[in-house]
Amino acid sequence: MNTKIIDQFIDHLWLEDGLSKNTLNSYRFDLTLFADWLSKDGNIDLIHVSQLEIQQYLAYKFPTSQARSISRLLATLRRLYRFLLREKKIDQDPTLKIQSPKTPKTLPKSLNEAEVESLLSAPNLKSPMGIRDKAMLELLYACGLRVTELVSILLTEVIISDGVVRVTGKGNKTRLVPMGEEAVEFVQQYIADARHNILRKKTSKYLFVTARGSAMTRQAFWYLIKKYALVANIDIPLSPHVLRHAFATHLINHGADLRVVQMLLGHSDISTTQIYTHVARERLKKIHQEHHPRG
């Protein structure tokens, strides 16, 4: 019974939201653990769960889990029982009156604009690899891409004449993102010359390639960004995702509308984007403390 219900729910999520395999596996894992606990604790199936059993399970998980994990688990259970309610398999939602634990707002690490400039200036433009790396860094920052999105871009998805790139994000959702003048200039330079020199006589459908003729990998680019952080004398822990945070933070600092930033980042929910308003607020508070006589 429980396995059948979980399978139906996962199929529903895949059809409705087009979620990735990893996300669907996470849902399945959480629900299987819950179903196993129910069967061991009182031989109860997922259909006949009450609010009390869910609260007892959350209390059971709480000592070994972070508040954020508990919130995610409760969100999974809420989706399951709303689905079962719509399918008329249950009469009421047992999660309706359960409150999520408060989770601390963690501000993502970011770079200031001077640090970004230093990082983007680090590659050696006298070599084809340097031009490739420069184009990748410029595009990552100009478009606020996830690293997986960056390395997955196809050559045919770059429209230089319009200054946009077609990006495939989470759940295979695509979006068109403007590149900006600097990124367009270096991507065009890379495509026109450096890419051919790197590939030599090999071919690839991907925009960013290695000398072996394969697509740049997430791991390889992670090492590259670490290397350029050293060249730029940036001493905070740096990853490709930090440039995505810098992209969003700098847009909001310069007055960009939150909905626009949400669209550019490819966030399905604006609450995910709202963290950057906190980043901007913290920056303003820091400036006030440093420069105001009563700070």
Q: What is the DSSP string of 259-284?
A: HHHHHHHT-SSHHHHTHHHHHHHHHH
Q: What three-state secondary structure class fits 30?
A: helix
CB 209 within 8 A of CB 54: no
* pLDDT for the residue numbered 290: 62
Per-residue pLDDT, averaged over 244-261, amounts to 74
Segment 98-107, tens digit of pLDDT: 887 765 555 5
Segment 48-106, tens digit of pLDDT: 999 999 999 988 888 887 777 888 899 999 999 999 999 999 999 999 888 877 655 55
Write down the pTM of the prediction: 0.58
Does any domain span residue 192? yes
Number of domains in the chain: 2
The single residue of 57, 81, 141, 146 carrying the catalytic annotation is 146
The single residue of 170, 175, 226, 278 carrying the catalytic annotation is 170
The single residue of 27, 57, 141, 276 carrying the catalytic annotation is 276
Residues 156 and 76 in one domain: no
Q: Is 250 a catalytic residue?
A: no
Residues 149 and 61 in one domain: no
Q: Is 27 a catalytic residue?
A: no
Q: Is 244 a catalytic residue?
A: yes
Segment 175-232, tens digit of pLDDT: 888 898 999 999 999 999 999 999 998 999 999 999 999 999 988 998 898 899 999 9
Q: Is 79 a catalytic residue?
A: no
35: containing domain: 2-86
Q: Is 146 a catalytic residue?
A: yes
* pLDDT for the residue numbered 157: 96
Residues 175 and 255 in one domain: yes
Does any domain span residue 9? yes
Does any domain span residue 234? yes
Does any domain span residue 257? yes
Tell me the CATH number at 244.
1.10.443.10
Q: Is 267 a catalytic residue?
A: yes
Give the C-alpha separation, 241 to 276, whole Å. Answer: 14
The single residue of 12, 226, 267, 283 carrying the catalytic annotation is 267
The single residue of 134, 244, 245, 250 carrying the catalytic annotation is 244
Specify the residue for token string 């770079």: 111
Residues 129 and 262 in one domain: yes
Residues 174 and 278 in one domain: yes
Across 169-295, the runs of DSSP E, i.e. the strands, are 174-178
